[in-house]
Amino acid sequence: MKKDVAQGGIDIVTESIKTTDISAITVNSATLEKMIGVSDRRIRQLAEEGIVVRAAKGRYKLKDSIMNYILTLKVAMEAAGTDSPDGELDLEEEKAIHERVKRHISELKLQVMKGELHSSGDVERVMTDMLVSIRARLLAMPTKLAPLLVARNDAGYIRTAINREVLDALNELKDYNPKDFHGDELVDDDSEDYESAD
CA distance 166 to 148: 15
CA within 13 Å, CB half, 194 = 16
CA distance 76 to 98: 8
Can you give the pLDDT at residue 181? 67
Model confidence at 191, pLDDT cuts 50, 70, 90, reads very low
CA distance 114 to 13: 39
CA distance 19 to 53: 20
Model confidence at 170, pLDDT cuts 50, 70, 90, reads confident
pLDDT above 70 (res 6): no
Higher pLDDT, 178 or 183: 178
Q: Each residue of 125-150: b (16+ CB within 10 Å) or e? A: ebeeeeeeeeeebeeeeeeeeeeeee
Can you give the pLDDT at residue 187? 42
- What are the pLDDT digits (tens) for 98-115? 888 888 888 888 887 887
CA distance 152 to 159: 11
pLDDT above 70 (res 11): no
- What are the pLDDT digits (tens) for 65-81? 888 888 888 887 776 65
